[in-house]
A and B are shown apart, each in its own frame.
Chain A
């Protein structure tokens, strides 16, 4: 259970010494409660208090590192069942599978395709992080050779999947220093694989047929000193996997350590579209890694979009790119609306403009993702920022008029904007919901 600011405060020295960089001990405690600062910033905390606070703050899910150096990826450390309660910290990693039974040409083509699985969406680069190398042949040499090839061609860290600990050892050695995730599909060989993982300094994913068996297995492995564990509940199919992932997360958040590890899930549905649905569902519901056979761009794009959405920090305002947007077939006489770059604000404006069917320009001013009133109050939305955005947008070459529609909530800025920009300001409605009727009925050019 997370501690409140006041509960943390009770353990602090209460001297308001400011050595932590905050004005008071309570301010520090509240920042700590919000996880924005760690206890080690307080040089005067007593060992007893430290112990008490650290055990309360210990994340219930192990942090696991895959890959090395620039390719290091981390999963785990999640603390919530529902994203609105705080946030989901570490986006699910996607792994696209290749098999060592594939023909060389098909194999190369597949690896090349995986290498190209990055996308540009709403101004951000997203992509598949891992290549899952499946020792379907059971042959150690083929496995090793594919492991090398996969990592080299895709440029991504690998998940090495085999039923045999020995094969894993060989492939892991081949990728020495690259810290692949070893996945042992045979529970009987899990302990042997743990020894390999320990020796090769790799994380290990283990599978069992039930959660009970899995808990037993992880306890044994943890007893050998290996903490870098990923768990596969063994269930396959939407229903079983969703249930298992949920049970694992709930048990982990109840501080049940044997299931306090990041979970790995597999898509197995019969059709590609269903696998897309499956992968997206596991991303939303607690999988730390999803291994999939999907490889087409249209298949992976929605999964990546799901991940972007679900792992957005709900506490932080989401911004759109500040620039000039157009809705519909705009022309030289189309109206120009100005708003902020807080995504909810922008999208409400855009939605209403669209609904009005009046083609229009929307100028989104950089207000660091804050809404109209907040931006105004903190001086990010004022005559000069609006004028600057207006001049930089090139709108003056695109429209013949010089009329700007300002949000009604900041009507007070109108004189200043007129003075600085030379544009005539028209006061729009206070709420986005009024825009559609405003454009249809009141916009006159």
Chain B
């Protein structure tokens, strides 16, 4: 039997596959995005598609209700086509490349502008100098190359180097050749622009152009996140972001978390596929930014990439397996600058890609960037930086010391491992209020679209509000008797599920619910982050009240409600004015480094100063985690503000303990 034709809608994407290929793989080949957080293991339940025509075979799954199965829903990773198929990808499973890009661009640009603005004295890693080289004479017969270098050296002192390729081109750049009938004539043209990039201890003349192009000098600040890739196109002559763009990391199709991807990389061709996925994402972003700003790719002289250690390894095509194996040593912690072209990135052909230095396998260039951007490295006061992503990174310190750790928080705040969770994209519920009696639920969605699910900020709100409304006990168990109409019974185990939005109002034609398992996941996620903070605080020997500033970084929705974070015990109960949401600090740090050589220097010093703590060997971590697996925490004395909420609900007769 020859291949099976599989057509996916919307988009009418088609492919032909042999038998024994999963529907998820078929979608990949057709170029149709289907959310698959677990990387096709059948355990996340996100790759729901509807088979409209044709037959599939495969395993039953607990992720689909009987009603959904009757309507043709299957999990794409668990079924194999048996005939030609027509498959519909429902909205909740679609992850189109550009969803939310406009919103993200605005958000990320705004946030970064709030940090360290204005930037320190402008001295970008790549500079352009307009030069006027005097014409050589018999009295001054200096060679072209030396002539150029000495002019550059006057602008940028220090060791200089220049490649053969540029030297070869130089004589023709500096002279115009006028061809007459039988002879030709060289005319001197000393007005050129030299592009000079910092490469390690020396500066390199990347290229020389005719005329004055010094105004056309751009760079790309990049944050390669596990979930989102963000790029800022920065004008290096002013230090200001011209435009920003974001897209989902296409590696998601190989798994939502770092460990799953590293596992995938072990398969033949796996590492290359992961590398290519990032490169293509960056290419897409460059294309988009170039289109929006009308700035040519050739005018982008450099890229500064931040990201966690695994992502930067994928980007550079370095071996990743060593990261997850004891003793957890990265292939490189401070990779030298490379030509972007070597990685297949099409900016200026000789443009340079710089990588933010990493501290270790679990504290990457995103954390060092965050430290730079939040300026906690020079703060007088004790400060805490929390970068909440699939890995939660925590940094505690000030100008005296810096210590960091990383907790595998899981993807719950990014929508993974939660039934109706989704990323901060159009249609995601990003804020939520529940008032009693009722309950009366009011919610907002990103872009005001009909709700499809809940993103991180929405989930945090939901947990906090359910708890304060008395619909969750402190252990995170639903209390359906408090609002019977808002709960439905799960089909599989009869457990209670809270209906946030009924199917009539939802954009996906199904109830948007929070299940008992979702709540447990969210509690575990918040507990792992809080426990990481607790471990750092304990190990250094300070008190919570000593912390004067808390910076929250991350990309899980822009309506982060600090008080909800405290209510569920994700953040310590500190005065709200000490807590600040700073958005994507990783890209902000990358941008700072790109526009300031002083910051680049600073960066190297910061890396040297960071003390990494491994929570796996911290005997107290599990215990801190367990005591944080409660709302807001087993020890309510740590959360006096929340205690007063609970007192208000339970009434004075039952003062909380």
Binding site for B on A (CB under 8 A): 4-7, 9, 14, 16, 23-24, 26-27, 30, 33, 314-316, 370, 374, 377-379, 411-412, 414-415
B60 to chain A, nearest CB (A): 14
B540: which A residues are within 8 A, CB to CB?
4-6, 26, 30
Is B343's beta carbon under 8 Å from chain A? no
CB distance from A9 to the nearest CB of B (A): 6
**B609 and A412 within 8 A (CB):** no
Closest chain-A Cβ to B332's Cβ sits at a distance in Å of: 16
Contact B43 A6 (CB under 8 A): no
**Cβ contacts under 8 Å, B408 to chain A:** 377
Q: 11 A-B Cβ contacts within 8 A?
A: A4-B540, A5-B539, A16-B609, A24-B401, A27-B611, A30-B540, A377-B324, A378-B324, A378-B326, A412-B43, A412-B260
B608 at the interface (CB under 8 A from A): yes
- B240 → A minimal CB distance (Å): 35
**B143: Cβ under 8 A from any A Cβ:** no
Contacts of B402 in A (CB 8 A): 26
CB A322 to nearest CB in B, in angstroms, measures 17
Whether B539 lies near A412 (C-beta < 8 A) is no
Q: How far is the CA of A411 from the CA of B259 in the complex (A)?
A: 14
A16/B539 in contact, CB under 8 A: no
Within 8 A of A (CB), among B31-67: 38, 41, 43
Residue from the list A6, A24, A314, A370 in contact with B542, Cβ < 8 A? A6
- Residues of B contacting A314 with CB < 8 Å? 619
For residue A371, give the distance in angstroms from its CB to the closest CB of chain B. Answer: 8
Main secondary structure of the interface of A (DSSP, over half): helix
Known: A5-B539, A411-B43. A23 touches B611 (CB 8 A): yes
**Can you list the 10 inter-chain pairs with the closest CB atoms, starting with the nearest?**
A4-B541, A315-B619, A26-B611, A27-B611, A24-B611, A6-B541, A26-B401, A6-B540, A412-B41, A379-B325
Residues of B within 8 A of A23 (CB): 608, 611-612
- CB of B622 to closest CB in A, whole Å: 8
Residue of B nearest to A24 (CB): B611
A359 to B260, CA, bound (A): 35
Which single residue of chain B is at the shortest CB-CB distance from A27? B611
B631 within 8 A of A: no
Q: Report the minimal beta-carbon distance from B333 to chain A, rounded to whole angstroms.
A: 11
Q: A27-B611, A377-B259 are in contact. Are A412 and B401 (CB under 8 A)?
A: no
Q: Are B401 and A6 in contact (CB under 8 A)?
A: yes
Decide yes or no whether B403 CB sits under 8 A from chain A.
Answer: yes
- A26 to chain B minimum Cβ distance, whole angstroms, is 4
In this assembly, does B444 line the interface, its C-beta being within 8 Å of a C-beta of chain A?
no
- Chain B residues near A24 (CB, 8 Å)? 401, 608-611
Q: Which of B43, B324, B610, B619 contacts A379 (CB 8 A)?
A: B324
A66 to chain B, nearest CB (A): 31
Set A26, A316, A370, A415: member contacting B41, Cβ < 8 A: A415
9 more A-B residue pairs beyond the given contacts A26-B403, A414-B41, with a C-beta to C-beta distance below 8 A: A6-B540, A7-B541, A23-B611, A26-B540, A26-B611, A33-B539, A374-B616, A378-B325, A379-B326
A417 to B539, CA, bound (A): 38
A24 to B542, CA, bound (A): 19
CB distance from B106 to the nearest CB of A (A): 37
Complex Cα gap A124–B438 (Å) = 63
CA distance A30 to B538 in the complex (A): 10
Interface contact B542-A377, CB-CB below 8 Å: no
Partner of A30, one of B43, B539, B608: B539
Q: How far is the CA of A412 from the CA of B619 in the complex (A)?
A: 26
Which A residues are CB-close (under 8 A) to B191?
none
Tell me whether B541 and A33 are in contact (CB under 8 A). yes
B39 and chain A: residue at smallest CB distance: A412
Q: Which residues of B contact A27 (CB under 8 A)?
A: 611-612
Known: A5-B540, A378-B324, A411-B43. A30 touches B611 (CB 8 A): yes
- Smallest Cβ distance from A395 to chain B, in angstroms? 26
CA–CA, A4 to B539, complex, Å? Answer: 7
Q: Are B541 and A316 in contact, with the CB atoms below 8 A? A: no
CB-CB nearest in chain A for B38: A412
Instruction: Tell me which residues across on chain B come within 8 A of A374, comparing CB atoms.
Output: 616
A residues within 8 A CB of B41?
411-412, 414-415
Q: Mark B582-622, 1 if CB is under 8 A from A, else 0.
A: 00000000000000000000000000111111001001000
Q: How far is the CB of A98 from chain B (nearest CB, A)?
A: 42
Contact string, B375-405, partner A, CB cutoff 8 A, digits 1/0?
A: 0000000000000000000000000111100
* A30 proximity list for chain B (CB < 8 A): 403, 539-540, 611, 613
Are B541's CB and A5's CB within 8 A?
yes
Closest Cβ neighbor of B402 among chain A residues: A26
CB-based contact B38/A377 at 8 Å: no
A437 to chain B, nearest CB (A): 12
Q: Which residues of A contact B541 (CB under 8 A)?
A: 4-7, 33
Q: Considering the chains assembled together, what is the distance between the CA atoms of A379 and B325 in angstroms?
A: 6
Across the interface, name the chain A residue whose C-beta is closest to B401: A26
**Cβ of A309 to closest chain B Cβ, rounded Å:** 17
In Å, the complex CA distance between A412 and B264 comes to 12
Q: Which residues of the partner chain A approach B616 to less than 8 Å between Cβ atoms?
A: 370, 374, 377-378
The residue on A at minimum CB distance from B42 is A411
Give A26's nearest chain B residue, CB to CB. B611
Q: Which residue of B lies closest to A313 (CB)?
A: B619
Residues of A within 8 A of B324 (CB): 377-379
Whole-angstrom distance between the Cβ of B356 and the nearest chain A Cβ: 18
Q: Which residues of A contact B611 (CB under 8 A)?
A: 23-24, 26-27, 30
CB of B253 to closest CB in A, whole Å = 16
Question: Quick check: B401 and A9 within 8 Å, CB to CB?
Answer: yes
Bound-complex Cα distance A232 to B613 (A) = 44
**B517-542 near A? 1/0 per residue, CB < 8 Å:** 00000000000000000000001111
Nearest residue, chain B, Cβ from A374: B616
CA distance A33 to B325 in the complex (A): 27
| Chain B residue nearest to A383 in the complex (CB) | B263
- The closest CB in chain A to the CB of B326 belongs to A378
In the docked arrangement, what's the CA distance between A9 and B397, Å?
Answer: 13
Q: How far is the CA of A377 from the CA of B402 in the complex (A)?
A: 26
Residues from chain A with Cβ under 8 Å of B612 in the complex: 23, 27
Question: What's the minimum C-beta distance from A399 to chain B, rounded to whole angstroms?
Answer: 25
- Distance of A16 Cα from B608 Cα, bound (Å): 7
Say how far A6's CB is from chain B's closest CB, in angstroms: 5
The residue on B at minimum CB distance from A315 is B619
Given the complex of chains A and B, what is the CA–CA distance between A231 and B539 in angstroms?
36
